[in-house]
Amino acid sequence: MLSVNPYATLAETISPLAIQGFILAMLALIVIGTVVQMVHHKNVTYFFNNAKKAKLAAERELGIGEKTSVILKTVVHDIATTAELGAGKRRIAHVMGMYGTILFWVASVVLVFAYTGTGASESTIWPMIWHVGAIMTCVGGYWFWLFLRVDVLAEAHPWYRIIKADLFVLALLACATTGLAWSYFQSSGSTGLGYLFLVLFITSNIVLFGGVYWSKFAHMIYKPGAAIQKNLAEADGSRDNLPPLADAPKQFGLGIKREQPKHY
């Protein structure tokens, strides 16, 4: 199963062009949903105005080399490793889910456009990347959903409580879970279950990418931009109009030592 391209098997009954068209349609939904959300919520306007204020409040002007260095450090440290979460289980779960999703999506595009259709070559590496990515997404996502969510751990809400903000993670988990199930039953010859989970896989993808406007999907674009802007503001001295850090030791008392830190 891990070395079998599920899309190539699917192409025996469904036109490869239809599969490719579906991928392109999902990409279009991402772009449209993100743009509409930016326009409606005025995120671009906020970042632009914030950048203008930071420039006016800057204590010194950063050169191109220094700006590049700050951006690269932000990408490598803050974004690529989700350093804002600190060390611990939450960070591990997020990193696992993030990189699993990236592998899952990239492998899907590669498998559909390069290894599916008449005359297409075969690959054992990319199907393995696809399956491993889906598994990583499931492990990190279910770990976060069942055990690490703030409202479950700190606020004692039940794990099955669902709000609109949960649309992204639940749809993503549905995609990875039904994708794995579809691949398994399709490769094992269980045609009925294979088609059932294929329909669920398609539906969950439509919900995930079609719900960009209402979900936290677009945050994957906003957060890197916000992190870069924040670090540039610290480097040029504007600090987002916040006062400088006090040159004094931090005194929090003994309260934080009385229980395991779990309030975010």
In a structure prediction context, what are the per-residue pLDDT tens digits for the chain, which is 264 residues long?
A: 788 899 998 998 899 999 999 999 999 999 998 888 878 877 777 777 777 777 777 778 788 888 889 889 888 888 888 877 777 788 899 899 999 999 999 999 999 999 987 777 888 899 999 999 999 999 999 998 888 776 665 666 776 778 887 889 999 999 999 999 999 999 988 889 999 999 999 999 999 999 888 887 777 777 787 788 888 888 877 776 676 666 766 666 665 555 565 554
Q: Which parts of the chain are beta strand (E)?
A: none
Domain count, the chain: 1
- Please provide residue 231's backbone torsions phi and psi, each rounded to the nearest 5 degrees: -70, -35
Non-local CB neighbours of 189 within 8 Å, separated by 6+ positions: none
262 part of a folded domain: no
93 part of a folded domain: yes
**Two tokens, residue 134:** 């889906």
Radius of gyration over every alpha carbon of the chain, rounded to an integer in angstroms: 22
- pLDDT for res 18: 94
39 part of a folded domain: yes
CB-CB contact of 53 with 241 (8 Å): yes
DSSP 261: -
- pLDDT for res 36: 87
181 part of a folded domain: yes
- pLDDT for res 181: 96
Range of the domain at 18: 6-235
136 part of a folded domain: yes
Task: Count other C-beta atoms under 10 Å from residue 256's C-beta.
Answer: 9
253 part of a folded domain: no
Task: Report which residue type is found at 118.
Answer: T
Could you tell me the CATH number of the domain that includes residue 196? 1.20.950
Task: Report which residue type is found at 251.
Answer: Q
104 part of a folded domain: yes
Return the ∠ at Cα 202 (arms to 199 and 204), rounded to 5°. Answer: 105
247 part of a folded domain: no
Task: Report how far residue 190's alpha carbon sits from residue 185's, in angstroms, rounded to the nearest whole number.
Answer: 5
